[in-house]
Amino acid sequence: MSGSVATADTAFRVAEHLKRASAPWDVFGERITTHEIHFGPRGIELLRGPIVLEGYGLRLLRSRDGKIGVGYQASTDASVDGVASTLEAAESVSRYSAFPAKDVTLPTGTGTGAPRPEITDPAVWADAPRALANYTSALFAAFQNRPGIGLSFGSVKTRKTEVTMANSSGLSAGYGHTRVELEVAVKSSGGAEGAPPGEYWVTAFDRRLDATPLPRLADDWSRYASDARRAKAPPGGEHAVVLPPSVLEAILPASLGYKLSGRAELREMAPAIGSTVGAPQVTLEDDGTLPWAFGSSPLDDEGTPQRRRTLIRNGVTTELLYDALHGSALNHASTGSAFRGGFASLSSGGSSFGSAPGPSCTTLTIPGGDGGSDEELIEAAGEGIWVQQLGWASPDGLTTMFGGEIRIGYRIRHGKLAEPVRGGTLGGLVLAGPNTPSLLANVAGIGSRATLTGHVSVPTLLVRPMTLGGDEVATSAA
């Protein structure tokens, strides 16, 4: 796709000035152009854009006393003086860092043999304001003529990012991608029932502005907002729980991205290869090449081609995620899993260059199983809870614990969805050793069809049991 070719040259311009660097280096550049529409109940409140952020992160890898001194500095100043200042800062901090690897093998080439997953929306790439306006019109139209239903708050954001990478081993590569963020609060109010208003507040991440599913989503979201008005707190205790992909997206990547990586292995916190961590039917992959996935790209952030990695097969750990640095420390090749997070002082720029790369997951996938449709999983649950949304899953990468309030869900009675529930806390471990209950170990049913949402492509899961803190006076507290 021609639109996915980076036209910015940030990293290449910076690399021109790094000839005098005293140690191996790599530089990751981005030029990000953002457009946003923010709206409230009375329509558009704010138009933003273009918001242009261009910057780079420079990493030095200095060998010293059998270790690597890693120096990292990011900047938006790509002038000759700016690069010199950035290099000086990176050299300064590299003298005070020590990572347990003797040397690091950096990728080479131009990335021409790398996979080319579809990650660029041509309409956003070519004319983001127009694409954004058309999408927002379709969004507003989808919520028209719905008595008692309205959009109380939200935004649609598009980001066009041109990535360039270079290093001292000769890497010179680049690509482009688009990202889309939708945040919507759907409110249900009025009517004869006199109940307080209800809300379904959702955030969705995608690679493209696709208005096609909006009418169906508006139906679903309006129903959840209305059901929240009459929902009651669920009972506490152990339940069969059915978790759709949107809930698993809130739990799995943040809980497992660290635990199944070389970063955790280095600190003896990762499960051993060959150890059982899930039910026999659980297979978990990390796929950086999935079309239209938020985490897909031709190359990771060090320039290693992306691929698919099988982390857990039939409940047994088979592979972990490595970047070049952790791979070197652990005598393992990079798995193309070097990625960069955001940073607190620049939270909304959508940038990656502000932080050094480390091993992490892209899109976690679970292949479809033999559990059938959502209705069949609900029938298999018999009695239990369908969780539609958690307030915040609070996933913890160190322990893999999660726990969040049920914002909207449904009781399952006699194998059918029944009355809505809201409140109470669902939680537990995602991954644990043998004989310790966990979400992956207690998977009792896997739906037949995986759905891509955010950083997962997974089917609905039936988990039995899970613990729910609900609206009952606790006897065990006495």
**Contacts to other proteins from residues 328-347, by CB under 8 A:** 329, 343-347
Place of tokens 């409110």: 187
Smaller CB distance to other proteins: residue 135 or 365? 135
On whether the CB atoms of residues 458 and 450 are closer than 8 A, the answer is yes
Pick out residues in 65-84 that bind other proteins (CB under 8 A). Answer: 70-77
Q: How many CB atoms lie within 10 A of CB 64?
A: 12
On whether the CB atoms of residues 110 and 173 are closer than 8 A, the answer is yes
Pick out residues in 419-478 that bind other proteins (CB under 8 A). Answer: 422-428, 432-434, 436, 467-478
H/E segment holding residue 50: strand 43-64
Residue from 48, 102, 216, 416 in contact with other proteins (CB under 8 A): 48
- What six digits make up the tokens of 432? 């644990």
- 3-state SS assignment for residue 340: coil
Residue from 236, 367, 368, 415 in contact with other proteins (CB under 8 A): 236
Smaller CB distance to other proteins: residue 346 or 415? 346
Residue from 3, 12, 49, 217 in contact with other proteins (CB under 8 A): 49
Q: Which residues contact 146 (CB under 8 A, 6 or more apart)?
A: 218, 222
Pick out residues in 90-149 that bind other proteins (CB under 8 A). Answer: 90, 92-100
Residue from 109, 115, 367, 391 in contact with other proteins (CB under 8 A): 391
Measured distance CA(390)–CA(378) in Å, rounded: 19
38 touches other proteins by CB under 8 A: yes
Region binding other proteins by CB under 8 A among candidate stretches 2-10, 110-118, 291-299, 404-412: 404-412
63 touches other proteins by CB under 8 A: no
Smaller CB distance to other proteins: residue 55 or 174? 55
Measured distance CA(274)–CA(101) in Å, rounded: 25
| Residue 298 beta carbon to other proteins: minimum distance, rounded to whole angstroms | 25
- What six digits make up the tokens of 301? 């952030």
E runs forming strands in 214-257: 237-243
| Residue 375 beta carbon to other proteins: minimum distance, rounded to whole angstroms | 28
Measured distance CA(460)–CA(131) in Å, rounded: 32
Where does residue 325 rank: exposed (0-12), middle (13-18), buried (19+ CB within 10 A)? buried
| Residue 379 beta carbon to other proteins: minimum distance, rounded to whole angstroms | 27
The interface mask with other proteins, positions 359-388, x = CB under 8 A, is ------------------------------
Measured distance CA(467)–CA(294) in Å, rounded: 31
12 touches other proteins by CB under 8 A: no
Q: What is the DSSP string of 54-97?
A: EEEEEEEEEEETTEEEEEEEEES--SHHHHHHHHHHHHHHHTT-
| Residue 297 beta carbon to other proteins: minimum distance, rounded to whole angstroms | 21
Pick out residues in 206-235 that bind other proteins (CB under 8 A). Answer: 228, 233
Residue from 66, 191, 237, 382 in contact with other proteins (CB under 8 A): 237
| Residue 457 beta carbon to other proteins: minimum distance, rounded to whole angstroms | 21
Residue from 404, 409, 447, 454 in contact with other proteins (CB under 8 A): 404
| Residue 46 beta carbon to other proteins: minimum distance, rounded to whole angstroms | 5
Q: How many CB atoms lie within 10 A of CB 183?
A: 15
Name the region of 210 (left: φ>0; alpha: ψ -120 to 50; beta: rest): beta
On whether the CB atoms of residues 324 and 334 are closer than 8 A, the answer is yes
Residue from 261, 402, 443, 453 in contact with other proteins (CB under 8 A): 402
Smaller CB distance to other proteins: residue 213 or 433? 433
**Helix segments in 107-181, DSSP class H:** 122-142
| Residue 109 beta carbon to other proteins: minimum distance, rounded to whole angstroms | 28
Residue from 120, 400, 457, 460 in contact with other proteins (CB under 8 A): 400
Pick out residues in 158-197 that bind other proteins (CB under 8 A). Answer: 181, 183, 185, 187, 189, 196-197
Residue from 5, 47, 126, 141 in contact with other proteins (CB under 8 A): 47
203 touches other proteins by CB under 8 A: yes
CA torsion through residues 466, 469, 470, 475, sign: positive
Pick out residues in 264-323 that bind other proteins (CB under 8 A). Answer: 266-269, 271
